[in-house]
Structure 1
Amino acid sequence: MSVQDQSRTEWDVIVVGSGAGAMTSAVVAADQGLSVLVVEKSEKFGGTSAISGGGIWIPNNHYFAAKGGKDSYDKALQYILAAGGGKADETKVRAYLDHAPEMIKYLEEKSRVRYAVAEKYPDYYQHLPGALPGGRSLDPELFDTSTLGDELENLRRPSPSTLLMGRIAWTARDAHVAMARERGWRLKVLGLMLRYKFDFKWRKKSKFDRRAGLGSSLVCALRASLLDRKVPLWLKTDFRELVLDGDRVIGVRVVREGRALTLTARRGVILGAGGFEQNQALREKYLPQPTKTAWSATPPGNNTGAALEAGMAAGAATDLLEWAWWAPTIAVVGEDKPRGVFAERAFPGAIVVNSLGKRFCNEAQGYLEFGDAMYKDRDATGGKNVPAWCIFDAHFRFNYAMGPLMPAQIMPDSRLRKEWLGSVYWKADTLDELARQIDVDPAGLRETVAKMNAYASSGKDADFGRGDSVFDRYYGDVNVKPNPCLAPVQKGPFYAMRMDAGDIGTKGGLLTDAQARVVRADGTPIEGLYAIGNTSASVMGTAYPGAGATIGPAMTFGYIAAHHIAANA
């Protein structure tokens, strides 16, 4: 970065945040001939996007069409509106469907971003009209991080749970083959491990793979695209408040390296700074109880709601503040944030119970619905679903991963960190002994396990229909019959892992219109102010339609905002 850029205080567009949506808006704005500055609170770029799966949910995408896939605008519209719980604004949904396919095609042609269609990844609500069994979720291709040069040091590193063996990059398509134990999965994993092992030159520099996958691939590709355009990104620059001239936003106040700065945005400010899940006071004010920042899978110290509060101070309306992108999490000793549990709940032979020893939902359903279920019956159960407990046996332990525990055939108990026993996982020879260790009702657990073992034999979960949906079965074991999501829990020793009511970000935020402009309660826009991603209220309402329905809209409305600013410059 030039000395001039470091001392400059006036730009056409200022983007707050450096996640996928924020960097997309910066790339597009720069391509429209606007001068752009990106400011990031953290010392690392990438935001929550960097530690995510990086998938984007794009109906009618050209990747699926090129493979002969059939989708339609009307089907996608019907599906989103049916899923959104009456909270999805049709005007904004239409803007999303109009521009999302255009956005990803633009990035493919103009930037370093590369995707492929995850043809088998189903929409989450298969029972709703307009749902597809696959084709709308896109998965980032691997990215060669050596092309970033010294800037790689500033990358927010992905969670170990998103890497094979904690250090090897793979795509979501690769991970699915391995987790579902599809034909050839062992060769797939071996090939990835050998590619990493024989990259001797790179391994002398770093224990991490030369290639980045998932969300890390996406943010690296976007960062490289910003470098191509010489768009400055100021790290360790803490956004504090908006600057207004009357009713119009004309800039931001930040603190950078201990210095308070006022930066002018001649054309507009785009807030893409995440939600408020790392702010305990705001969690207690808006989210269902109990709630803790320590349960969130997002980067600690970031996403503290500064952009939300600044927008509200400027007169913005809000929506969906009581919602988060729920995901159960497992705390791991020695790690700064817990790990989200996304796929493992569908593996056959693991069940999730509350402190009564009872199941309370379909374990294989989407993570937002799973988290919502932890809170849903809190009045009737006295809050006994929080925390929940994942229970499995020695057969499951040998064959499948759960949170930080790799399958015992790869990582036996003898190789696990000693401090994990009694903190990350609990272990006992009998179910009764295990129940007593974790303060779960033994009789309730015995009854639930007996019922589930019968369901595994019949292939039908009579309580919650686990495994009935193509989405449930996506991460089931294709080798387990008759239901790939059901297997008995019967072989000791038995294991338990605590699941908290975590999240991958808050869902509510500043209310915006179809151009991503922040609006007041009467619907009038606050001139010069735009919000995207988790800083804004989700276009999806209370739903999570499919993998990538967080980042996809963030990038799309970043694209829309940049074009709107340029058109009105």
Structure 2
Amino acid sequence: MSLKNNYDVIIIGGGASGLVAAYEAAHNSQSVLVVEKGHNLGGSGNYIEGAFAVDSFMQKKHADYHLTKEAALNEELNYSHYKADTNTWKQYIDGSADIIIKWLKDLGVEYFDVEPLGSGARTWHLFKCRGDAVINKVLAPKAKENGADIVTSTEVTKLITENGAVTGVELKNLENNEVSTVNGKHIILATGGYLNNKKLIADYTNYDANQLIPVNSNKNTGDGLSLAWNAGAQRYAMGMAMLFGGYIKDPYRPIYVYRYDELNGAANQQLLLWVNETGKRFVNEEVVDNFAEAGNALFTQNEFYTILDQATVDHLQNDSLYKPMGTYDYHDTKLPHLQEEIDDELAKNPKYLTKADNIEELAKKLNLPDLPATVKHYNEQAHAGKDEDFGMNAKFMIPVEKGPVYVIKQGVGAFCNMGGLKINLDNQVLDLDGAPIKGLYAVSNDAAGMLIGDTYGPNMPGTKAGYCFFSGKHVADVISEK
């Protein structure tokens, strides 16, 4: 594509927020360039299942929905211990239903329902065919129809500044290494955060980067944050990732292959017995009802494993789930391929999955000295119908008795992180003194530190995804008014 020398709006990142901004800015008669470093558009946004909104027409169809905007605001502020910015949340909540639901629906985005997640509120407006359809079937085509230029396999290597204002970008074509510059009145950072940058995780979070398993597009390496920091932006609210409990830890296969794996879902969402690196139980497994809190609990251990026996495998495959699996795309009541998956994996001699005839043999194979005593005590409590250790609901305490038995080694899964830049209500990036850097804006994960404390909030599911769409449209409308 032959690029113009000057654009009204240059958007760095071709994911959900970037393409919302691209469509809206182009629709508002702005000249627009979207720069995406990957071969394809969408990034981690392609995997978005649904988005947060309050007081939508979809929610009002459900008799059990009673959430008000005021209650949602207070809940989020309390959940973050008031580390979140009140006005940013209020702005987002007030505009969420019109932008996330009505505006996107009018563009052609299809939903199939709005649901809670675990013990959370009914705020998760679920897309048909996930974010991939929203981005690649609706937003990108409509942005192009309205005149936006979109380039892929191209990296922004530098923000060009003049007298303290950002006035353009330096581009590098990743296919031929050609470097060029393009001028822009308004530069929007929409690069998705830094979850895939181990150094930034190690330097600015408390997470063990070796235990953390990013389950995303693998492109969120902090590019936009580094560009902004080099241009004088304030580093802000780093340290929180959207954890979602355990995830199969296999060093020899791509992470994405286990995303909708039945064995992975069983290990992490069925309230089976969890033990640590010595074989001791360490938490009430019902914590999975808030998957971010589950991730926090798992990080308190050096390693952790899920234990299950053949009776459990048979039950999940042939009878029913013990509980619905909200963070996985399962709407069936069984795991019909579970035994097949286990047998196929064992045939590959995997490092994460071990089988034994009994618990004693399993403990010896994996050097889990406390496991036999843990299982004996757990089974006694399960039969007695009371968890004296952690208070787990008795109906979820499934004895581990029938051999063979299996153990699944896991890490802690995460989808994204939120934070890195401080913004104002116009999504302008702020400098070290809190003043806007002229011409520079941030949306989505790069800016979402304004919404969080130290733990993501599944209590209001879809908030991160919703903010992608909300912030993208909001910033484009702000720019069109300048």
TM-score (ref. length: structure 2): 0.86
Identity %: 25
Q: Which residue of the partner structure matches residue 286 of structure 1? A: 204
Partner SS for 1:398: helix
Q: Which residue of the partner structure matches residue 78 of structure 2? A: 82
2:423 matched to 1:497? no
Q: Which residue of the partner structure matches residue 390 of structure 1? A: 306
2:469 matched to 1:555? yes
Change (3 A) 1:523 1:429: same
Q: Which residue of the partner structure matches residue 355 of structure 1? A: 277
CA shift, 1:293, in A, is: 8.9
2:25 matched to 1:38? no
CA shift, 1:140, in A, is: 0.3
Change (3 A) 1:59 1:412: same
2:349 matched to 1:421? yes
Partner SS for 2:179: strand
Q: Which amino acid aligns with 1:96?
A: Y
Q: Which amino acid aligns with 2:397?
A: L
Task: For 2:58 and 2:342, locate their aligned partners in 1 and report how far apart those are by CA, in whole Å.
Answer: 45
Q: Which residue of the partner structure matches residue 264 of structure 1? A: 183
2:48 matched to 1:137? no
Task: For 1:122 and 1:294, locate their aligned partners in 2 and report how far apart those are by CA, in whole Å.
Answer: 22
CA shift, 1:535, in A, is: 1.6
Task: For 1:121 and 1:239, locate their aligned partners in 2 and report how far apart those are by CA, in whole Å.
Answer: 37
Q: Which residue of the partner structure matches residue 296 of structure 2? A: 372
Q: Which residue of the partner structure matches residue 322 of structure 2? A: none
Q: Which residue of the partner structure matches residue 532 of structure 1? A: 443
Task: For 2:51 and 2:40, locate their aligned partners in 1 and report how far apart those are by CA, in whole Å.
Answer: 22
Task: For 2:278 and 2:73, locate their aligned partners in 1 and report how far apart those are by CA, in whole Å.
Answer: 41
Q: Which residue of the partner structure matches residue 22 of structure 1? A: 18
Aligned counterpart for 1:217 among listed residues 114, 128, 133: 133
TM-score (ref. length: structure 1): 0.73
CA shift, 1:528, in A, is: 1.4
Change (3 A) 1:136 1:502: closer
Partner SS for 2:289: coil
Task: For 2:24 and 2:35, locate their aligned partners in 1 and report how far apart those are by CA, in whole Å.
Answer: 16
| Contact 1:275 1:308 (C-alpha < 8 Å) held by counterparts | yes
Q: Which residue of the partner structure matches residue 448 of structure 1? A: 374
Partner SS for 1:118: strand
| Contact 2:159 2:170 (C-alpha < 8 Å) held by counterparts | yes
| Contact 1:251 1:262 (C-alpha < 8 Å) held by counterparts | yes
Structure 2 unaligned residues grouped into runs of 5+ = 318-324
Partner SS for 2:200: helix
| Contact 1:19 1:45 (C-alpha < 8 Å) held by counterparts | yes
Q: Which residue of the partner structure matches residue 246 of structure 1? A: 163
Q: Which amino acid aligns with 1:282?
A: L
| Contact 2:188 2:443 (C-alpha < 8 Å) held by counterparts | yes
CA shift, 1:352, in A, is: 1.7
Structure 1 unaligned residues grouped into runs of 5+ = 125-131, 142-212, 378-384, 468-481
| Contact 1:387 1:501 (C-alpha < 8 Å) held by counterparts | no
Task: For 1:123 and 1:58, locate their aligned partners in 2 and report how far apart those are by CA, in whole Å.
Answer: 17
Task: For 2:402 and 2:211, locate their aligned partners in 1 and report how far apart those are by CA, in whole Å.
Answer: 36
Aligned residues: 456
2:359 matched to 1:431? yes
Q: Which residue of the partner structure matches residue 320 of structure 2? A: none
Deviations along 1:233-271, one digit per CA (max 9) or x if unpaired, are 2110112121112121122222113111212212x1111
| Contact 1:273 1:307 (C-alpha < 8 Å) held by counterparts | yes
Task: For 2:127 and 2:189, locate their aligned partners in 1 and report how far apart those are by CA, in whole Å.
Answer: 24
Change (3 A) 1:529 1:498: same
CA shift, 1:294, in A, is: 7.5
Task: For 2:98 and 2:84, locate their aligned partners in 1 and report how far apart those are by CA, in whole Å.
Answer: 21
Change (3 A) 1:464 1:74: farther
Q: Which residue of the partner structure matches residue 11 of structure 1? A: 7
CA shift, 1:356, in A, is: 2.1
2:160 matched to 1:234? no
Partner SS for 2:295: helix
CA shift, 1:489, in A, is: 1.9
Q: Which amino acid aligns with 1:138?
A: H
Aligned counterpart for 2:456 among listed residues 544, 552, 562: 544
| Contact 1:349 1:393 (C-alpha < 8 Å) held by counterparts | no
CA shift, 1:438, in A, is: 2.5
Task: For 1:278 and 1:413, locate their aligned partners in 2 and report how far apart those are by CA, in whole Å.
Answer: 28
2:479 matched to 1:565? yes
Q: Which amino acid aligns with 1:297?
A: V
User: RMSD of the alignment, in Å?
Assistant: 2.9
Partner SS for 2:191: coil
Q: Which amino acid aligns with 2:153?
A: K
Q: Which residue of the partner structure matches residue 193 of structure 2? A: 275
Q: Which amino acid aligns with 2:108?
A: R
Deviations along 1:105-130, one digit per CA (max 9) or x if unpaired, are 44335423222433353554xxxxxx
Deviations along 1:112-171, one digit per CA (max 9) or x if unpaired, are 3222433353554xxxxxxx3xx2111002xxxxxxxxxxxxxxxxxxxxxxxxxxxxxx
Change (3 A) 1:420 1:58: farther
Task: For 1:530 and 1:64, locate their aligned partners in 2 and report how far apart those are by CA, in whole Å.
Answer: 32
| Contact 1:112 1:225 (C-alpha < 8 Å) held by counterparts | no
Partner SS for 2:41: coil
Q: Which residue of the partner structure matches residue 55 of structure 2? A: 60
More strand by share: 2
| Contact 2:8 2:184 (C-alpha < 8 Å) held by counterparts | yes
Deviations along 1:394-432, one digit per CA (max 9) or x if unpaired, are 12223448999x947565268514554332311111112
Partner SS for 1:321: coil
Task: For 1:566 and 1:534, locate their aligned partners in 2 and report how far apart those are by CA, in whole Å.
Answer: 22
Task: For 2:212 and 2:38, locate their aligned partners in 1 and report how far apart those are by CA, in whole Å.
Answer: 18
Task: For 1:252 and 1:462, locate their aligned partners in 2 and report how far apart those are by CA, in whole Å.
Answer: 61
Change (3 A) 1:250 1:54: farther
Change (3 A) 1:27 1:400: farther
Deviations along 1:4-43, one digit per CA (max 9) or x if unpaired, are xx33232111111122122112122122221211111111
| Contact 1:242 1:251 (C-alpha < 8 Å) held by counterparts | yes
